[in-house]
Structure formats: structure tokens, C-alpha cells
Amino acid sequence: MARILKTKTLINTKLATNYGGWMYCETCNENIGYLCYSTYDSLELKYKCNCGSRGEAFLDFEDSQTGHDCNDEMIIIKNRLCCPKDNEPLLTILDKKVASFDLKITCKSCTNIYHKVK
């Protein structure tokens, strides 16, 4: 079922489809990660690509729940960062393609907000 976006702010960043799929640095066109379509409620990503460009992506939906901060770390299953509570796959950040990143993502299923920094 299609979801209705409330916020979509992409800076120096391209997304393969409306709110998911491969994420690309718009400066060098390298893919920097993959966002799962249906399992997140909101995304806040800031990163510095290896090419030196800084990119940002902010997305949430009309029906997004209010997230809850937690100190848990996401777990990795088959290259995807996943929610440790319900194993929902959330996204992949290609570590080797980005010099640094600051990520907050809310799991739609349990509304936990996961924070990860490199």
C-alpha cells in the first residue's frame, strides 16, 4: 500500500523511488546505501560522501507515529541494519562509501528510534 509522505527533504542526495530503494550521492552518483520501503516511520540522515560532498535526507509520513528514543543498537542481518526488537530490516549504509554519517531511523513496527554515528 502506498504511503503518503509528509516530509521529504533531500540535499545532494537521490533516492531510487519516492521513499525507498537505493540512495545516491548526487555529486558523484555513487550509491551510499539502501532504504527499505515499508519498515521505517521516519529517517534523518546526514553524511559525508567519500567524494567530499555532504548530503542529507529527511523523510516521514502522514501516518508516522511519534518515535521513542532508545539506547539499543541496531543489529545486522544480511548487510541490513535491523531493529533488534522485531528484526525488521530498516536500511543499509555502505560504510566504505561514506567518510562519516549521523543516522536516526524510527522503526514503524515498534516506534523505537535508533541512532548510529560513524
94 binding Zn ion? (CB under 5 A): no
Q: Which stretch binds Zn ion (CB under 5 A): 15-23, 40-48, 52-60, 68-76?
A: 52-60
Describe the strand order of the beta sheet including 54-61 as a list of residue ranges.
5-11, 54-61, 40-49, 98-107, 112-117, 68-69
105 binding Zn ion? (CB under 5 A): no
**Distance of alpha carbon 113 from alpha carbon 68, whole angstroms:** 5
Q: Which is nearer to Zn ion, 51 or 113 (CB)?
A: 51
91 binding Zn ion? (CB under 5 A): no
* Residue 92: HSE in the Cβ half-sphere, 13 Å Cα cutoff: 15
Binding-site ranges for Zn ion (CB under 5 A):
25, 27-28, 49, 51, 53, 83, 85-86, 107, 109-110
